[in-house]
Structure 1
Amino acid sequence: MSQWSALLQKEILEMWRNFKWIWVPITFILIGVKEPLSSYYMPQIIDALGGLPKGAVIKLPEPSAADVLIKGVGQYNTIGVLIIVLATMGVIAAERKSGVAAMILVKPVSYASFVTAKWMGSFLLMLLSFFLGYLATWYYTGILFEWIPFNDFFGSFLLYGSWMMLIITITVFFSSLFLVPGTAGFTSLAFVVLLSLISSALSKWLKWSPSQLADYGNHLISGASIPEGTWPSLMITGLSIIFLLVLSIAVFRKKELAL
């Protein structure tokens, strides 16, 4: 455990040196405040852009707080996913390519400790960034529109966070599979997009799909009860994370031994 803790501390320190602990949370917060602010000030924004007939009055239907929060958190399922992949794609591939991984593994360091410490460091970064960003979305939605109950907010955060945890695990897996970070990132994005598209097109039959967790989080925001597919989806997500981590360790060990 002390070995694993040392590796995790190294990973956290490395992310400090790369300023990930600064730019990733700030980016998530900016994404979080964009939707409630733009929704509230949309009439003024349109008026400022001009181009309307003289004397025209802009009257837009005021969105509900739930709609604003759902649209806001939806940004994390697009831009947020891209940021997660970009921040994680080189977590193993870059160190393999630079030779740092080989230097570390020369010491009595297990492959499992190396991979899981990398995964945990990326997860902690994502968890903090997403929570701060989503909290900003919830706060500004409450200030400008109406307060969503904190329990519903936190429940949806856990569901969205579970889906993002799987995305991190997918990226770590491809980072252990490929030597080039760009290839790992592109493949991870393609896999996540394909999974989301298939689950969306076949949502009636794939209620247990991990990508459905985002929709289930929206149900909580809207004040609806938890859909019946939530728990199977969470179970599949957890099993998929464990399977991909084990597979990542096996692939990484094989790749390193083959070098």
Structure 2
Amino acid sequence: MKKWFVLHRKEWLEMTRNYKVIWIPLVFVLFGLMQPITSYYMPEILKNASNLPEGSIIQIPTPSSGEVLAQTLGQFNQIGVLVLVLAFMGIVSSERKSGMLKAILVKPVSFSSYITAKWMSAVLLSFGAIFLGMIASWYYTVLLIDDFPFLDMVQGTLLYFMWILFLLTFTVFLSSLLKSSGFVAAFTLLLSILLTLVTSLLEKWMEWSPAQLTNAAASLFMTGDIDGPLLLPLITTVILTALLLYLAASRKS
């Protein structure tokens, strides 16, 4: 266990040196801030940006606080996923290419400890970034638009993060399998897009899909209740995540 903590500390030191611990949370906080501010000032933005005749009135209904938070999740599910995949696509493959992996495993360190330490560091940093972004969005939503229960925001964020956890684990798995970081990013993003698209088009047939957790979180934000499948996609996500992590950790270097 002591060796695992040494590897985990090494990962945090590396993420500090390449500023991932700074710029990844900043990206999510920035997008979290932008959504409520943009929603609140959209009429003024359109008024100043358009060439409407003098005296024209633009009436855009202000979205509810839940709708703004759901839109924030939408931003995270597009730009945020891209940022995380690009940040961690070379988490294993880059060290294999540079020869660092062989240098680490020459020591009495198991490949499973190496993989799980990297996976945990990516999970913790991603969770912290997403949670900070949602707190920023929640705070400015309450400030500018309307009140929203903090506990509902936390619950919705946790549901959404299970989807991100699955994608992160898939990224680590592919990075342990492939030598090209570009292929890791391409395949992970393709999986994310396909699962989201197919789940929305074939909702009855895809009730098990991990992408349903994004819909569940958005539904919780907008209606105060989860409208749609929850238990089945949650169980599927946990099983698939555990399986991918096991396959990644059980591979030989």
Q: Which runs of 5+ in 1 are unaligned?
A: none
Q: Deviations over 1:223-246 (max 9, x none)?
A: 343346212211111111110011
Distance in structure 1 (CA, Å) of the matches to 2:6 and 2:28: 28
Q: 1:106 offset after TM fit, Å?
A: 0.7
Counterpart position of 1:129: 129
Distance in structure 1 (CA, Å) of the matches to 2:124 and 2:192: 20
Counterpart position of 1:26: 26
Counterpart position of 2:196: 196
Counterpart position of 1:242: 242
Q: Answer with 228-237 or 133-142: which moved more.
A: 228-237
Distance in structure 2 (CA, Å) of the matches to 1:119 and 1:38: 35
Distance in structure 2 (CA, Å) of the matches to 1:241 and 1:6: 24
Alignment of 1:37-56 (within 5 A): 37-56=37-56
User: What amino acid is the match of 1:112?
Assistant: S
Runs of 4+ in structure 1 deviating by more than 6 angstroms, as ranges, are none
User: What amino acid is the match of 2:166?
Assistant: L
Q: 1:205 offset after TM fit, Å?
A: 2.1
TM superposition score normalised by structure 2: 0.96
Contact 1:66 1:222 in 2 (8 A): yes
Q: Which runs of 5+ in 2 are unaligned?
A: none
Counterpart position of 2:77: 77
User: What amino acid is the match of 1:86?
Assistant: L
| Distance of aligned partners of 1:44 and 1:225 in 2 relative to their CA distance in 1, 3 Å threshold | closer
Distance in structure 2 (CA, Å) of the matches to 1:20 and 1:116: 19
Distance in structure 1 (CA, Å) of the matches to 2:160 and 2:36: 19
Counterpart position of 2:213: 213
Distance in structure 2 (CA, Å) of the matches to 1:198 and 1:4: 39
Question: Any idea what SS the aligned residue of 1:207 has?
Answer: coil
2:163 pairs with 1:163: yes
| Distance of aligned partners of 1:226 and 1:59 in 2 relative to their CA distance in 1, 3 Å threshold | closer
| Distance of aligned partners of 1:160 and 1:47 in 2 relative to their CA distance in 1, 3 Å threshold | same
Q: Answer with 207-216 or 43-52: which moved more.
A: 43-52
Q: Deviations over 1:59-79 (max 9, x none)?
A: 211211111111112111111
Q: Deviations over 1:111-134 (max 9, x none)?
A: 100001010010011011000001
Contact 1:7 1:114 in 2 (8 A): yes
Contact 1:152 1:223 in 2 (8 A): no
Distance in structure 2 (CA, Å) of the matches to 1:196 and 1:218: 14
Q: 1:209 offset after TM fit, Å?
A: 1.2
User: What amino acid is the match of 2:246?
Assistant: V
Question: Any idea what SS the aligned residue of 1:204 has?
Answer: coil
Q: 1:103 offset after TM fit, Å?
A: 0.3
Contact 1:73 1:137 in 2 (8 A): no
Aligned CA-pair RMSD: 1.2
Alignment size in residue pairs: 253
Distance in structure 2 (CA, Å) of the matches to 1:85 and 1:153: 24
Contact 1:65 1:148 in 2 (8 A): yes
2:89 pairs with 1:89: yes
Distance in structure 2 (CA, Å) of the matches to 1:229 and 1:246: 26
